Amino acid sequence: MATITLRGATIHTNGELPKVGTPAPAFTLTRGDLGDVSLADYKGKKKLLNIVPSLDTGVCAASARKFNEAAKALGDQVVVLVVSADLPFAQSRFCTGEQLENVIGLSMMRDKNFAKDYGVLIQDGPLAGICARAVVVLDRDDKVIYTQLVPEIGEEPDYDQAIAAVH
């Protein structure tokens, strides 16, 4: 269990982020077209997982925008996935409205195992049941090479460190 804060109030996640150097937990999430996608679907590419509570918040939206811009320079061997509890329709509407063409929104609509397996499922407080803010970077072989659990949900992740990990 990890401790984070929401506007200074202590809340907890169900576990810890995967350790650097370990295999990433497999997952199945839902795309905007309601199709399922798994970690294996991105085999051979580096993956930057931008895990957010909801794209319907300013900080989550800002991180999606920032990683979308970064993804332009990362090339086609890197995929940037924005994972949240938002419905796929809302994710698609946000990405289309913001013209975010370099990130892929993935929803936990059908399965919260992603949040549990990655240790980011918030256990208490007003956001219980959705994801804490975190970034996980995986290499081409799905090994964890970088993690950050953002200590205060209202703060943005360390973009520079995350992007450097992908290079």
Q: Which residues are catalytic?
A: 60
Q: Which residues contact 71 (CB under 8 A, 6 or more apart)?
A: 48, 78, 80, 102, 103
Helix (H, G, I), strand (E, B) or coil at 2: coil
Using the 8-state DSSP alphabet, how is residue 42 labeled?
A: G
DSSP code string of 85-146: SS-HHHHHHHHHHTT--SEEEEE-SS--HHHHHTT-BB-SSTTTTSBPPEEEEE-TTSBEEE
Tokens of 148: 């950050």
Q: Do the beta carbons of residue 59 and residue 155 sit within 8 Å?
A: yes
